[in-house]
Amino acid sequence: MAPSDRRCQTARRGDAVLLRGVVAIGVLGGPAAGIAWVVQRASRGSDGVIGEACGIRPEDETGGGSMRRVALTLVLVSVILAPACSARPSSAARSPSEQRSAAGRVAMLARRRRAPVVLILMENHSYEQIVGNTSAPFMNSFAHRGTLFTNMQAISHPSLPNYLALTSGSTLGCTSDMCSPRSFGAKNIFHQLRVHHHAWRAWAESMPSNCALTGASPYAVRHNPPPYYQDLFPNDCPSHDVPYPRPLPAHIPGLTFITPNLCHDIHDCAISIGDTWLRRHVPPLLHMGAIVVITFDEGESNNHVYCAARGPGVGHGVTRAAAFTHYSVLAGIERHFGLRRLRQAAHARPIPL
């Protein structure tokens, strides 16, 4: 085939190239991208040499060749714009109910993407008694492989005020372990989660029945905060505050608050026993994709306590020396779930989760 014939065929294939190009660009980039590409191609016209080889004189480029391309351009523009003009109205033109429905779907997807959080409370040991202690190899390894908060402070003495602070943002005027269950009308993290459609559970090891209001060793109600909040009755506490499950469920909720019994939280037993309990129970939670936070309710000689976190999105091998408190733990959990921070948590630096 002569070179002129090949060039002629190239020119004749131009329209086919134009058609395929606009379809591809229009689909991938939208109507505006398709139109821009069509106009650019049409404005180039036919090369004069090729035009002559096909019997088109250069002076006719404003006639037959280019006009034919312009006509094709107009047809293709109309094809591109037709779906756009007949498409569903934008969100700005949708009814309020449609917009609320769409926002609800977005919020639901965002909730599904959040990693669940597990908070485990140990008892009555200061930071210096745990970090670097050979009797606590798991807790030290956990901190090394996650984020260790080296300046975490508990709020009060004894235990119960700290559990209230961690879950409500205040000690609520409680100054002892003798405050009665169901005596606080304050909003709390469990109520917040329910109102915003996040699931939660409290797992209390050795608790004799759901939401037990009295202690029965080795279960201590003062280490189990849900029974103290009035707004969790008559339904939430009895159904969501349960004995530690064996075996673990296949899935865990948005927040799980775990209270080991009086031996396994190291209140009554050796550090090594509590560390072994954590080594047995924490890895399955991590394997389920949870962010696990381990901390202590209070220190023995002071309120400088161990706190470490590990899981999706948590820094690996990170040490944070900034000042944090139990209110920071609550603030970090509330921020993770997009909740308003309660009381003192609103003024605390959130732990990063």
213 and 301 in one domain? yes
**Residue 86 to residue 103: CA distance in whole angstroms:** 24
204 and 79 in one domain? no
Convert 167-196 to b/e letters by CB count within 10 Å (16 or more is b): bbbbbbebeebebebeebebbbbbbbbbee
Alpha helices (H) in the chain, listed in sequence order: 3-12, 14-29, 31-44, 48-53, 64-86, 96-113, 127-130, 137-144, 159-168, 189-195, 236-240, 271-287, 326-336
Residue 190 domain-assigned (yes or no): yes
pLDDT tens figures, 242-294: 999 999 999 999 999 999 999 999 999 999 999 999 999 999 999 999 999 99
Q: Where are the beta strands (DSSP E) in 208-265?
A: 241-243, 255-259
140 and 16 in one domain? no
257 and 177 in one domain? yes
Q: What is the mean pLDDT of residues 6-27?
A: 45
325 and 266 in one domain? yes
Domain's final residue, options 88, 105, 134: 88
pLDDT tens figures, 125-167: 999 999 999 999 999 999 999 999 999 999 999 999 999 999 9
Range of the domain at 49: 3-88
**How many structural domains comprise the chain?**
2
pTM: 0.70
pLDDT tens figures, 71-123: 444 444 444 444 444 444 444 555 665 565 555 555 544 544 799 999 999 99
254 and 321 in one domain? yes
- In this structure, the strands spanning 241-243 and 200-204 are parallel
326 and 220 in one domain? yes
Q: Which residue has the tokens 């707004």?
A: 231
Distance spanning both ends of the chain, measured CA to CA: 70
User: Around 263, how many Cα atoms within 13 Å sit in the side-chain half-sphere?
Assistant: 7
Residue 285 domain-assigned (yes or no): yes
> Residue 254 sits in a domain of what CATH number?
3.40.720.10
